[in-house]
Structure 1
Amino acid sequence: MIIRQIFNNNVIRAENQVGHEFVVIGNGLGFKKKNGQRVDVEKIEKTFVLKSDKIPQKLIDLIGETSVAYLKVADEIVGNAKQEMGDIFSDNIYISLIDHIQFAISRYRKSVGVKNSLLWQIKKFYKKEFMIGMGALDIIDAQFGIQMDEHEASFIAMHFVNARQDGQGMKQTVEITEIIDDIFNIVTDYYELELDETSCNYSRFITHLQYFAQRLLSNEQDQRASGDNFLYEQVKDKYAQAFQCTHLINQYLELKHESAMSIDEKVYLTIHIQRVTTRKDMASS
């Protein structure tokens, strides 16, 4: 492994024999070293392993002005997230997370708290990401002695939602979450019931809404439409109540988002609504 850039005495950018770049942390790794020299592997404490062969310039710039403590915390949080959900996050998670942690700690040291208006929705619709956020609070507390609340955990969770969706913007994540919440409320109000959050059908329903909302905002519905009128009529007749609920959701989308569901989307959503609201999947009230 060869040194390509020295950020400081303890953080360097290195490259292996096949040209894959890494950010490497270790006490004295960069001390009295020069670009092109071999890395002292015995001193390596942590290695940022990215999906891309080359480290994004934005991350390089950020590391150049970030203390080792923040890098280690971010790397541990991402490592825990990968253990929980797999290696499904884009490399942007390092950029957004390091930047966010620095800003959040600065705020807390100044006693400036920020509330997340989507806290309830994040906890409900992104359970795994929220638990990653809660675990991140323990890591931050252990490193910096700062105890943050669940609002901060939800902000961290949203960064992982972004990274799971190929680094989509935070604005789109907020919009997707709001759409999911609105559709969820239409279903529960229409059926006048609480859904069983422990059921498999509930998990499938929420996952469907997440991807549906993403397709809606990305204008990808028409690309997926098969126009299967026969299946549409079958579902409409067989699941009349669920189809009517889907109709209400379509009206909401037309009114608030100026977008209507394709035939395929109506079929898929109707089936999910039927499954999640059948009696065996209802929460006891």
Structure 2
Amino acid sequence: MNKNLQVKKVLNNNVVIVTDSSSEERIVIGKGIGFGKKHGEPILPDQVDKLFVLKDENEQEQYKTLLNHIDEKIVELINDVIVHIRTRFENDLNEHIHVALTDHITFAIKRLEQGLDIKNPFLTETQTLYPKEYTVAEEVIEMINKSLGIHLPEGEIGFVALHIHSAITNKSVTDIKKHSQLINTLMQMIQHSLDVTIDTKSINYLRLVRHLRHAIERISMGDIMEEQEKLAKVLKEEYPVCYNLAWKLIKVMQNTLNKPVPHAEAVYLTMHLQRLSRYDNEDKL
């Protein structure tokens, strides 16, 4: 990180606009970093490790706009939250989390004050797909609730987990939500078609959801899988219901992702569906 930072403008006690050695503007975020600072003063090297620097101009402008509508106490709290997230994952976070999480948490608090509760339909899938992010999100919501004396609903844990996953993987929250929604749709189709109620705590649910996640990622990246023609023929004959359902699921994935799906995906999906169907039938005996 460039350590030749000079204060250009103090936005509040926790956010400062600085210039670096090449005279480019940056937004520096850190607890108390702006307190008592004046134009031209340096940001000391021993403070740098405790700071976040927004380098992208669009991110800077969005963040400055947000600051006009947010209590400084909230800004400081969210900065503490992001420090906690970075510490728990022990790696850098995409700088967009400052804009995205600040905006989301502020809006969530506002909804709570207005008595509005937005349900999170992908909560179970999110917890299954991103267990560590979900655990850290639980800690984040607890920090916010305790600090502000409020009680954000459980659904917010899932939303925050998606923001965390986005920040550590550099994937957009929009794509992550789209994939979670797709998995939710596929799971509903599976339960309806096989006439089963899947225990979301079971190992079979966990395996199937993770398989769907990896399948969606493979399809999105255009990965080529080796064809399994002989196995596909056997599965089609032995397990026609699961095989046909696998292809229905593949059609939905193709239409949603707008990507071709290798035929081999039907083989692996069929095996997961057959395992799920077999265990469900055994439970009914």
TM-score normalized with structure 1 length: 0.70
Distance 2:200 2:253 in 1: 28
| Closer, same or farther: CA 46–70 of 1 in aligned 2, 3 Å | farther
Aligned length: 271
Aligned residue type for 2:28: V
Task: Please tell me whether residue 159 in structure 1 is matched to residue 163 in structure 2.
Answer: yes
Contact 1:92 1:167 in 2 (8 A): no
Deviation at 1:97, TM superposition (A): 0.2
Q: Which residue of the partner structure matches residue 245 of structure 1?
A: 242
* Candidates 170, 178, 182, aligned match of 1:175: 178
- 8 Å CA contact 1:196–1:283 kept in 2: the answer is no
Residue of structure 1 in register with 2:36 after alignment: 31
Aligned to 1:71: 75
Distance in 1 separating the partners of 2:254 and 2:248: 10
Bigger shift: residues 245-254 or 161-170: 161-170
Any conservation in 1 of the 2:8–2:18 contact (CA below 8 Å)? yes
Name 2:113's counterpart in structure 1. Answer: 109
1:225 counterpart letter in structure 2: I
* 1:138 pairs with 2:142: yes
Calculate percent identity across the aligned residue pairs.
20
User: Cα distance 1:185–1:245, how it changes in 2: closer, same or farther (>3 A)?
Assistant: farther
Say if 1:72 and 1:236 are closer, same or farther in 2 by CA, change over 3 A: farther
| TM-score scaled by length of structure 2 | 0.70
Q: Distance in 1 between matches of 2:17 and 2:143?
A: 25
Q: Does the residue aligned with 1:87 lie in a helix, a strand or coil?
A: coil
8 A contact 1:77–1:136 mirrored in 2:
yes
Q: 2:185 & 2:17 partners in 1: Cα distance?
A: 45
User: Which whole-Å CA distance do the structure 2 matches of 1:104 and 1:246 have between them?
Assistant: 43
C-alpha distance in 2, partners of 1:112/1:119? 18
Is residue 2:206 matched to residue 1:209?
A: no
Mark the runs of 5 or more structure 1 residues left unpaired by the alignment.
Answer: none
Deviation at 1:96, TM superposition (A): 0.7
Greater CA drift, 189-198 or 132-141: 189-198
Q: 2:39 & 2:160 partners in 1: Cα distance?
A: 36
What is residue 96 of structure 1 aligned with on the other side? 100
Partner of 1:8: 11
Provide, for residues 217-268 of structure 1, a one-character-per-residue CA deviation record: whole Å limited to 9, x for no partner: x4x4xx3225x34x33235537966785243132244268647631232244
RMSD: 4.3
Counterpart position of 1:61: 61
Query: Does the Cα contact within 8 Å between 2:246 and 2:269 map onto a contact in 1?
Result: no
Which stretches in structure 2 are left out of the alignment for 5+ residues?
none
1:108-163 per-residue CA deviation (whole Å, 9 max, x = no partner) reads: 22333322333444345444333333222211123222211112222223323444
In structure 2, relative to structure 1, the CA distance for the partners of 1:270 and 1:87 (3 Å cut) is: farther
Give the conservation status (yes or no) of the 8 Å contact 1:46–1:72: no
Kept in 1, the 8 Å contact 2:119–2:155? The answer is: yes
Aligned-pair CA distance for 1:164: 5.0
Aligned to 2:224: 225
Question: In the TM superposition, what is the alpha-carbon distance from 1:82 to its structure 2 partner?
Answer: 4.2
Residue 62 of structure 1 deviates from its aligned partner by 4.1
Change (3 A) 1:81 1:204: farther
1:118 partnered with 2:115: no
